Structure 1
Amino acid sequence: MNYEEARAYLDSRVSYEKRGMPESTELRLDRMVTLLEAIGSPHADFPIIHVAGTKGKGTTSTMIASMLTGTGRKVALHTSPHFERVEERAVISGEPIPGDRFTRLVEEIASVVEEIDAKLAPDQPGLTFFEITIALAMLYFSREQVDAAVVEVGMGGRLDSTNVVIPVVSVITSISFDHTNRLGNTLAAIAREKAGIIKTGRPVVSGVVKEEPASVIREVCRHLHAPLREAGPDFVDQYHSKGLAGGRVEVSTWRRSWPPLDVALPGRHQGANIALAAATCDTLEELGWTLPTEQLKQGLRLCRVPGRIETIRRHPLVITDVAHNEASASALVAAIPSRPEIPPSSPSPPRVLIFGSSVDKDWRAMLAILLPHFSHAILARYVAHGRAVEPSTMVEDASRAGIPVLTAETPARAWEEALRLAGTTEEPQEPASSDLDVAPLPDEPMICITGSFFLVAEMRTMMPLAEASVRPISS
């Protein structure tokens, strides 16, 4: 099996990321247990921090991994979905699994998968893309003898395929509305699904602040005798913005006041994510881990998370963000530069929104939040699979904002239109690292690409990225 054949094999498996999540009756953890046991239960070979939440779980997972890597440990990270290559789901110390190792592991696991598939009931689908890539990551981490792994939940928690691990710490970042057709239509119901990752006697760090979901997490922790630390009572943050260059965060926990923490991720919401990561490190210290503060700070300072209010070009300013629900859309508009003060005699610089979404997301609510902050909108669709909302479907709702609305059937066409609206037909400049620290000029146009992880992923591949935006967390 070569690399292309390995990719083709994985792509041939059922992928709920592409077709949408099934009814909960199709989700069963025993399949994942069987697969992992068949390859030697590699997930039991290293301590795991398990991270769930509606918003911020990927960023918080990466922050924790980056901070622990800063202490000299060999730290693994499993997140999903991926931007460009499936290897991004199995990272050690900031580096994705090499292609040759990936190929060999796919070939090894494939024979086990076929044996398990043959024993499944006729009405059960074969092992999925997600289940197989989790097994591959765990096997890779085990053989590389990592010191720890941070594992992000795919969706929900209780029935997520990652929920076969017994973590040293469980982390729940936030609870808001998303995947309501699968997780429930109240915050309490969603919280109960996320709280499914809590294990008996294992400590929990929660960033949930709304009382309705927070009370559910407290109840589950009491029932399972799981020590709980909560945002508010046990740790707080104060975020100081540096604009698009990131911010500085002051964190106080039940253990200590941290020195100022610098992060190259913009947005007030990153303060909450950093506080969660710091509180998780404090919890690990209470479990006996030695984590020098200065090394944790350095690890966080080098943390990069693609597609999170990411400045990738300048002149015009180009920002990508994977916001795909109301809460993340609100965080985006709070973080991007506000409309500059322009003399009445001067035209305002264009602010172009490229927006695409998936059919199971509340795209109407996202558009209502986003559109007032832009002068033009381009409704686009990603092409990777069939879950994208047709641009024409969104036109009526988008037009209510009173700004010009265009549609584009492909990301490439959306990019061409955005450049035209921004007043240029040439590619934006690739900025030096220092250019990212400079505030947008009053007359600098802006293009913002958001609404779907898949749209951002496809459009990021169309343009070279600024060096600072893709620096690995271990550099």
Structure 2
Amino acid sequence: MPSLDPFFTEWAERRPGQTRSLGRASALLAALGLDADRTPVLGVVGSKGKGSTATTAAAALSAAGLRTVLVTGPSFRSYRERVRVDGTSVDDAVLDALGARIDAARRDLPTVEESGGYLAPSGLFLVAGLLRAREAGADVCVLEAGMGGRRDELRLAGPEVVALGKVFAEHVGVLGADVVEIAREKTLVAGERTRALVRLPQTPEVAAEIDAALADATGGRVGAEVVDPEAEGTEPPPALRPPGLSAASGVLGTAAAARMLEHLGIPGPDRRTLHGVLATVRLPGRLSRHTVPLPAGRAPGGEAPDAEVVVDSAIDRVGVAAALAHARGLWGGVDHVLLCLPDHKDVSGAVEVLGGLPVTAVRLPEAHLRFEHALPPHWGRMDAADLTAAALAALGRRVLALGTVYFTGRVLEAVDAPTDRLFG
């Protein structure tokens, strides 16, 4: 188990009113020599689907023969997963060494009080990815933003190419008052080094704001390029896209990778090679399907059949409906749904979509999350600490687990899902 103190110390010790400091993060990058000497960056922002976009982009770049470092978050089962080389998580020793280098540089900075804020964990994992890329001689970094925008450390990394996913009203009141303001904030991750921004189709209001913000961020040098998953001939073909709502993310990641290759002057892979690598992409917690062994003797008259769980990080009405349709398409029906949505997610929408299905609501222990929304009286209740393979198996042979990534990671842990390798 790696030491995580270097990544979480300042966040854990933050005082009321303190916020993350991009100035402090910029000083850390300079201390590590990453302000000038760093690997080319493809940055991924958006309201949902960033991890799927980033993973697909990294896979497409690997198909062209590039050595890639991928930084995503949150992790599924281990913080090692936040930094990957060619799709595979770094090991404990590598993460320890990265943390030690970051911590040594951090200790030479002015204090948190002098800096006016702390170093955020998500930003420090991004720094770790840039360090690992330099050490490993990587050709390109694919970095997933946290919330994204000018207040995200990704902006400091100066992405040459930006992939912007669908923007909707996530983080209202944090990134902006409405979806238009949020779109502007996320677009402003672009800057001086940016040479291309590839985005998914947006509403007219959001598209106009993205164009205006991009012009401001790049001095009018860069115009947004739109990739439409519905357009005929768009890569990759539907059979090689991630399932459900993540399909559009697969298209965006592939297109952004193509633009990065153009920027680097490197030929793209032929279709056969590209499709071969994309066929290996696995996205845990994105409509991923896993076996849950049932206790012996569960089925009468012989060997117990396997239970299965489909795990998806759906957080709103649309996502829950898509996941439910996907599970019914696989199984013909669903025996039970596990749902974990804090109050700031679309709990009402999920309740409406799930209707009269058997549902158990799961509560996470994190103090900053609230689970006080009124739920149907017939729903079951469960604490996340009680989530085990046996508990899943007891719910039925066809279980759909939906909710925030902090929850889906626990489900993946319970079924011992493979999460260290995402492609290749």
Partner of 1:132: 124
Match of 1:460 among 405, 408, 412: 412
Residue 180 and residue 15 in structure 1: after superposition, are their counterparts in 2 closer, same or farther (change >3 A)? farther
Matched, 1:352 2:329: no
Between the aligned partners of 1:327 and 1:176, the Cα distance in structure 2 is 12
Offset at 1:76?
0.8
Between the aligned partners of 2:93 and 2:339, the Cα distance in structure 1 is 36
Matched, 1:54 2:47: yes
Query: TM-score, normalised on structure 2?
Result: 0.85
Between the aligned partners of 2:262 and 2:255, the Cα distance in structure 1 is 11
Partner of 2:287: 309
Matched, 1:291 2:268: yes
Matched, 1:328 2:319: yes
Residue 124 and residue 222 in structure 1: after superposition, are their counterparts in 2 closer, same or farther (change >3 A)? closer
Between the aligned partners of 1:421 and 1:296, the Cα distance in structure 2 is 40
What SS does the corresponding residue of 2:370 show, helix, strand or coil? Answer: coil
Could you give the per-residue CA deviations for residues 434-455 of structure 1, whole angstroms, max 9, x where no partner exists?
xxxxxxxxxxx42111111111
Partner of 1:101: 94
Gaps of 5+ in 2: 293-305
Between the aligned partners of 2:288 and 2:415, the Cα distance in structure 1 is 13
What SS does the corresponding residue of 1:32 show, helix, strand or coil? Answer: helix
Offset at 1:415?
6.0
Task: Tell whether the 8 Å contact from 1:323 to 1:329 is kept in structure 2 after alignment.
Answer: yes
Matched, 1:472 2:421: yes
Matched, 1:420 2:372: no
Matched, 1:378 2:360: yes
Residue 104 and residue 212 in structure 1: after superposition, are their counterparts in 2 closer, same or farther (change >3 A)? same
Offset at 1:330?
4.0
Partner of 1:344: none
Partner of 1:221: 214
Offset at 1:271?
3.1
Match of 1:90 among 83, 92, 100: 83
Between the aligned partners of 1:90 and 1:202, the Cα distance in structure 2 is 25
Residue 28 and residue 327 in structure 1: after superposition, are their counterparts in 2 closer, same or farther (change >3 A)? farther
Task: Tell whether the 8 Å contact from 1:47 to 1:148 is kept in structure 2 after alignment.
Answer: yes
Partner of 2:382: 408
What SS does the corresponding residue of 1:41 show, helix, strand or coil? Answer: coil
Aligned-partner residue type, residue 66 of structure 2 = R
Task: Tell whether the 8 Å contact from 1:411 to 1:459 is kept in structure 2 after alignment.
Answer: no
What SS does the corresponding residue of 1:121 show, helix, strand or coil? Answer: helix
Residue 148 and residue 101 in structure 1: after superposition, are their counterparts in 2 closer, same or farther (change >3 A)? same
Residue 91 and residue 129 in structure 1: after superposition, are their counterparts in 2 closer, same or farther (change >3 A)? same
Offset at 1:218?
1.6
Offset at 1:40?
0.9
Match of 1:389 among 370, 377, 397: 370
Q: What is the number of equivalent residue pairs in this alignment?
A: 404
Residue 162 and residue 140 in structure 1: after superposition, are their counterparts in 2 closer, same or farther (change >3 A)? same
Runs of 4+ deviating beyond 4 Å? 338-341, 413-418
Match of 1:230 among 226, 230, 235: 226
Partner of 2:34: 41
Alignment of 1:107-186 (within 5 A): 107-116=100-109, 118-121=110-113, 124-186=116-178
Offset at 1:130?
2.4
Task: Tell whether the 8 Å contact from 1:53 to 1:156 is kept in structure 2 after alignment.
Answer: yes
Partner of 2:72: 79
Partner of 2:303: none
Match of 1:204 among 187, 197, 209: 197
Task: Tell whether the 8 Å contact from 1:69 to 1:474 is kept in structure 2 after alignment.
Answer: no
Residue 281 and residue 386 in structure 1: after superposition, are their counterparts in 2 closer, same or farther (change >3 A)? same
Task: Tell whether the 8 Å contact from 1:359 to 1:387 is kept in structure 2 after alignment.
Answer: no
Query: TM-score, normalised on structure 1?
Result: 0.77
Aligned-partner residue type, residue 300 of structure 1 = L
Task: Tell whether the 8 Å contact from 2:81 to 2:420 is kept in structure 1 after alignment.
Answer: no
What SS does the corresponding residue of 1:398 show, helix, strand or coil? Answer: coil
Residue 128 and residue 339 in structure 1: after superposition, are their counterparts in 2 closer, same or farther (change >3 A)? closer
Match of 1:398 among 373, 376, 392: 376
Between the aligned partners of 2:80 and 2:207, the Cα distance in structure 1 is 35
What SS does the corresponding residue of 1:292 show, helix, strand or coil? Answer: coil
Offset at 1:150?
0.6
Task: Tell whether the 8 Å contact from 1:32 to 1:131 is kept in structure 2 after alignment.
Answer: yes
Task: Tell whether the 8 Å contact from 1:55 to 1:173 is kept in structure 2 after alignment.
Answer: yes
Offset at 1:122?
5.8
Could you give the per-residue CA deviations for residues 311-350 of structure 1, whole angstroms, max 9, x where no partner exists?
0126433111112244433432343325977xxxxxxx65
Task: Tell whether the 8 Å contact from 2:69 to 2:132 is kept in structure 1 after alignment.
Answer: no
Offset at 1:357?
2.4
Residue 381 and residue 81 in structure 1: after superposition, are their counterparts in 2 closer, same or farther (change >3 A)? same
Task: Tell whether the 8 Å contact from 1:352 to 1:418 is kept in structure 2 after alignment.
Answer: no
Between the aligned partners of 2:125 and 2:113, the Cα distance in structure 1 is 22
Matched, 1:272 2:264: no
Between the aligned partners of 2:132 and 2:173, the Cα distance in structure 1 is 34
Which moved further from structure 2: 146-155 or 34-43?
A: 34-43
Task: Tell whether the 8 Å contact from 2:180 to 2:205 is kept in structure 1 after alignment.
Answer: yes
Offset at 1:186?
1.7
Task: Tell whether the 8 Å contact from 2:46 to 2:164 is kept in structure 1 after alignment.
Answer: yes
Partner of 1:241: none
What SS does the corresponding residue of 2:344 show, helix, strand or coil? Answer: coil
Offset at 1:192?
0.8
